[in-house]
Amino acid sequence: MNNAILSLQLFLTETAHISRFTGRFFREVFKRNQEFRELLRQAFVIGYKSFPLVGITAFIMGVVLTIQSRPTLAAVGAESWLPAMVSVSIVREIGPILTALICCGKIGSSIGAELGSMKVTEQIDAMEVSGTNPFKYLVVTRVLASTLTLPLLVILADGLALYGCYLGVNIKGVTSVHLFFNHVFQKLSYGDVLPSIIKSIFFGLAIGIVGCYKGYNSNKGTEGVGESANSAVVVSSLLVFVIDLLAVQIADTMGLT
Residue 228 has pLDDT above 90, yes or no: no
User: Domain residue spans in the chain?
Assistant: 2-253
Greatest pairwise CA separation for the chain in angstroms = 71
Contact 157, 52 (CB under 8 A): no
pTM for this prediction: 0.90
Residues contacting 15, CB < 8 A, separation 6+: none
The CA distance from 162 to 168, in Å, is 10
Q: Render pLDDT for 103-123 as a digit per residue (tens, 0 to 9).
A: 999 998 899 888 888 888 888
Alpha helices in 30-122 (DSSP H): 36-46, 51-75, 82-89, 95-103, 109-120
In whole angstroms, what is the distance from residue 162 CA to residue 61 CA? 9
User: Stretch 46-55: mean pLDDT, rounded?
Assistant: 91
Mean pLDDT of the chain: 87
Structure confidence at residue 257 (pLDDT): 61
CB-based contact 61:164 (threshold 8 Å): yes
| Residue 86 predicted with pLDDT over 80 | yes
pLDDT on residue 52:
92
Looking at residue 160, what is its pLDDT? 94
pLDDT at 256: 64
User: What region does 33 belong to: left with phi over 0, alpha with psi -120 to 50, or beta?
Assistant: left
For the stretch 17-26, pLDDT in tens is: 889 999 989 9
pLDDT digits (tens, 9 = 90+) for 142-189: 999 999 999 999 999 999 999 999 988 888 777 788 888 888 888 888
- Residue 126 dihedral angles phi and psi, to the nearest 5°: -65, -35
